[in-house]
Each structure stands twice: as structure tokens, then as C-alpha cells.
Structure 1
Amino acid sequence: MTAEQRFTKIKKNVWKMEAGGRVYSVKKYASLAQAVKVRQLHQLLNVHHFPHIVSVLEEKDPLLIMQPWLEGAKAVNFKRRIDRIDSFNALQALHDTNSYIDWPSMSFLPHYHMLEKWEVRLARFMELREICQQFLSPKMYEELLVYGKEALKISKKQPSSNNSLTLLHGDVVHHNILRDGSGLIRFIDFDLACLGAEEDELVLWMHRVLPQITYNPSFLMGEHPALQHLSNQALAKLLYPNEMLREWLHLLSLPAAQQQRMVSKLLLFTETALSQWPRLWYDVERMMK
């Protein structure tokens, strides 16, 4: 740190840096491969003037990613219709870059295999049964397990989509989707960016949004007509309790004190979701062609 630079820690390995009258976001990566991936995909998108990102600036340290700080930017709120519409449109635009960028030829992008990843997640949840049941009732635990197993079984029976492979952001949680001061949607944190089918990321986006709209897929498809063309396999993937399983596994990885602070909120989220899951299941099965 020099006299001309002032750093404010935002979270682990991320700082707000003020220097020369300007403000930047600085992230230090432990993995060179990940830093290279993030830098190169931003460079490719910038060459084509893709608007929904924040430019990566030149930096001597290959492990550092530095970007202009978006003053006044706010994370989208999936409860708001305008934020759902604008984030969805920006996500489609990101996927559509495969019409002018040959993403499958980019060796720095790992392939995304959703069902394999979800099988591993469910297996881990089963391994941690005893610890889980210190927080979850046996009934809730079994419901999650049954829904997970059945959703995977149904998904595997359906033919996969014919989507060509494209760039996926990889983590479409609301705080990685910002609305800047001019109202433009910007994606940040491409750490999990990968190569995959567009449908898979639309499914992940829907998993994030559904809890905010009382798990009503029909409403969401009316709001976003493009979702009406999802394949049967994509629809079946909506049945997998991904958000709940991921959040419980995350909680179980934390120190006991942090677990106690978070468990009440997660239990409420889980109870609410499980109460809606039979209706979600019915709605989705009706949609499958």
C-alpha cells in the first residue's frame, strides 16, 4: 500500500481501492487459471462491446483482477418485475454471444455438467444425514431426499436439449447482477464461468427467482415467454430442490457459532419451500409435453 492508494476490505480477497481520484474493485485470486479465465472472457466480450459487464483493467500482477468501481450500483431484487425482466434479458444476451464468439474453442472454460454436479450434491447431503438431523426434522430431511432423488430420475429420462454450447456466467445469484447508476444491468464475479447449455443457466436463474414469486412457474413463464420453449429435461430440473440442498451443505460447512446464527432463517426458508413443492411438482408435470 502506498500513500496514493487507500484500500477498504469488502470481503475475503476483495478490496475497494481509491487511487488518483478514482475508485476500483480489486480481487486477488489464489488460482492463476481462474484469474486468466476471468480476464480473457472479459477481453473477448469487450472486443465485441458487450454492455453487461464491467471492464477488466490492465494489471501487472497476473493474480489480480481490477475493475472500475460502480458507484451507486445496486444488486437486483428478484421480487421486482423490472429486475426479473432486465436480468433475464441480459442473461439471454450473454448466452447469445455464441453467435459471434466461438466459446467451445476456448480452452480456459471448463464444461458444466449439471446433473453430475447435482448427484454429487445429493450424495453429500446423504453422507451428512446425522449432522443434518441435528437441525432438520427427520420428515423434512426425508422430503428433501425424496424430491432430490425423484427429480434426478425424471430429468435423466428426458432427452437433453439441443442447445449449442455457450458461455454461462455460472453463479446468477442476485448480488452478482447489478443495476448501475444509469440503469444498465452488469454481471460481476465470473469465477464460476463455464461452457454449457443455455437452458441449464436459465433453470438456475429460475431456481433463484421462484422463491421470490411463491414458486409459481406458470407466472414466470407468462412474464418471460422464452421460458415456454424449455425442453422437458429443463422443466424436470426445476423439481430438484437445489437451493435448499446447497444452503444446507453450506451451513454445515460453517463453524458452530455461525451455524446457530443462520439456522433459523434457513429452517424458515426450507419449511416455506417444502410447503410449496407439491404444487410446484404438479405445475411442472402439467407443462411437460
Structure 2
Amino acid sequence: MASHAIAMDICSKHLILECLLLTQDLTGTERIERPMVPDGKLEKIKDNVWKLEKDGNRFSVKRYHSNSTVMKVHRIHQALRSVSFPHIVDVIAQENQLTFVQPWLDGAKAVNFKKRADRTDSLAALHALHNTKAQLDWHASPYLHPYPLIAKWEDRIRKFREIGGECEAYIGKGHVDEILFYALNAIGAVKKTYKDNLDGTLLHGDVVHHNILRDKDGKIRFIDFDLASTGPAGTEIALWIHRVLPQIDYDIDYLFDEQPSLQKLDLASKTLLLFPNEVLREWLHFFTLSPFSRERQAKQLIPFTESALSHWPKLWYDVERINI
């Protein structure tokens, strides 16, 4: 194990990919990312993420364009490592400040919220992340800012109004009106109860399933802290529930019985469950896609929307009942 760690360290210190150079094309107008790795094999994962194979080791390499974001992510990992938080991936120091390198987790898989074990373990890890506020003063960090929940959701409603006419071509005016009805009533209820107080903690900021990995040893690992912020723990638990509900037919009673810790959520956090967050986000994302991708995505998004709306009246009733 020691020799392997030394080899990893030597390899990391010689990563030529520590400078993903930005160069100009022949026209001088377009900036292109060109990874300079003459003796390593690169596989592009997405626009700013690569898998690097070098000297028998594999790494995840991410290129940032914002110093403040990469510094925030580094500081979060340093702080969590200082208290031996187990649910993150090591970071390999680089000379280039905009390059973020971590060991590639061979055999790791994104959690599946359809599976009880993945729901249970990801929620436990999320609670552990939030509980680090007992050891770390997250509000003192100059790189972290309060999670702008209400402003974010109001902006989401505004943008959905703008694309409402286009949405009608896919789901009809009735469904568009339903989405807005639930969103507007929910945001009104949220404003009456929500408080972004200083008793908050670190929020991961994007608890989508592919940012929560189960490694080959079964341990949960969080990746991609780009959107991390501070706020009430219950806010992020509610956002996690938003992700889970479509996978369990929106049965909030079933989920609360399965995960007893959810029964401790306060009124403000449970009220967040009324907002049709996933439906709004998916439609806003839909209209950023190419026409070809839209045609393919519509086959999934239309039934997803219809299912959500068919369950929403009962969900609203159930949430109000458990809030009593």
C-alpha cells in the first residue's frame, strides 16, 4: 500500500495535465481548451472533465474557468479532510490553479434512488456532511455564500413563464397552467416559513444521483462541490427528497416511514416539498437542447411531467397533513 501511494504521488507531481492550456485558433477569435499530455491517455467525459490514464494510474481531471469556484472547492475538501470526513474523494495538488485532479474511482457507480440501500446510505452521508458544522464554522468561509433558494425558485418560475407557449406544444396549456398553479402557491407558502438563518451548515448544492457515488467498497462519496453554499440542513434534505420522490411514485408517507430521520424535518423544510422543482428544472433544461435531442428527451419528459402532475394533489395533501 505504501509503495502504491508513493507511485501515485510521484505520478501526480509529474502530471503535465496540470496546465490545460487555453490557446487561440487560427482566426484568433475562439478560445480552445487543449490538454497538453504527450505521455498520458485522455478520454473526454464532458466539456470540462477528462479521464487521464498515466503510468498505470487513472485520474479525474476537471478544468475550471473561475478562480473563486476552484478555490471554494479546494477549501471545502481541505476543511472536510481536516475533520476526517469519509465521504469525499482525495484531491491531488496541482501547480495550475484552474485544474482540479482526483484519483479515478474504479468500480464506483452513481447511486440509484430506486434502491432502498442507496436512499438510506446517501441520506446518512448527507446528514454527516451537514453535521460537520459542529466542528467547522462554514459561515466564516469567504468562499461560501447563503443558498439563494427563494430567488432561485422565483427565477425558475419566471423563466418557465417565458417558455410556457413552447411547452404547450408538448404537454398542452392545461398542464402548463397546472405547473404554474402549484409553483406559485408553493412559493407563497415557502415565503411564509423559510428562513436562511446563521445556524446553517455546508450544503453540497447539487444532490443529483450522479454526484453521489458508491465506491467499490460500498462507501458513499460526494463529488462536484461547485454549487456548494451555506444554509439550513433541512433545505438540502428537502432537495434530496425532490430527487427521490419520482422514483417511489411520490409516496411521501412511505419515504418518511422508511427514513425515520425525515420525521425530524421542521415545518419550513417540509413546506419546500410542495414546489414542483424537478418538473420546472427539466423543462427549462429541455429548451437548451438541440432539436434532435429534444425529440428524444420528450419521450421521457412528457410522461415524467404527466406522472408528477397526477400525483401532486395527493402529495400536497400529504405534506400539509404531516405539517400539522
Provide TM-score, normalisation by structure 2: 0.87
Shift of 1:279: 0.9
- CA displacement at 1:157 relative to structure 2: 2.1
Percent identical pairs in the alignment equals 48
**Among candidates 32, 45, 56, match of residue 67 of structure 2:** 32
Q: How many residues matched?
A: 289
Report the 3-state secondary structure (helix = DSSP H, G, I; strand = E; otherwise coil) of the residue aligned with 1:283.
helix
| Aligned-residue offset at 1:227 | 1.1
8 Å CA contact 2:145–2:230 kept in 1: the answer is yes
Q: Is the 8 A contact 2:72 2:144 kept in 1?
A: yes
Deviations 1:218-261 (A, max 9, x none): 11111121211212221111011000000000001222222112
Equivalence for 2:164:
129
Question: Which residue identity does 2:94 align to in structure 1?
Answer: E
Conserved? CA contact 1:163–1:199, under 8 Å:
no
In structure 2, the residue matched to 1:148 is 183
1:118-140 deviation line (CA, Å, top 9, x unaligned): 11101111122222222221011
Cα offset for 1:192? 0.7
Q: Deviations over 1:24-59 (max 9, x none)?
A: 000001111111111111011111111000011111
Distance 2:198 2:139 in 1: 13
Matched, 1:43 2:73: no
Aligned match of 1:215: 250
CA shift in 2, pair 1:214/1:2, >3 Å: closer
Q: Name which of 255, 258, 265 aligns with 2:300.
A: 265
Structure 1 partner of 2:174: 139
* Residue 194 (structure 1) aligned to one of 229, 238, 241: 229
What is the aligned partner in structure 1 of residue 32 from structure 2? none
Aligned residue type for 1:16? K
For residues 80-131 of structure 1, what are the alpha-carbon distances to aligned partners after superposition, in whole Å with 9 as ceiling and x for unaligned?
A: 1110000000000000011001100001012102122111101111122222
CA distance in 1 between partners of 2:101 and 2:52 (Å): 9
2:8 matched to which residue of 1? none
Q: Is the 8 A contact 2:139 2:198 kept in 1?
A: no
Structure with larger Rg: 2
SS at match of 1:171: coil
Which runs of 5 or more structure 2 residues have no equivalent in the other structure?
1-35
161 and 62 in structure 1: CA distance in 2 versus 1, 3 angstrom threshold = closer
8 Å contact kept, 1:160–1:231: no
* Bigger relative contact order, structure 1 or 2 (CA pairs below 8 A, ≥6 apart): 1
Structure 2 residue aligned with 1:230: 265
User: Separation in 1 of the partners of 2:188 and 2:243?
Assistant: 22
What residue is the counterpart of 2:123 in the other structure? 88
Q: How far is 1:2 from its partner? A: 3.7
- The correspondence of residues 103-114 of structure 1 with structure 2, limited to 5 A, is 103-114=138-149
2:55 maps to which residue? 20
The one-letter code sitting in structure 2 at the alignment partner of 1:167 is L
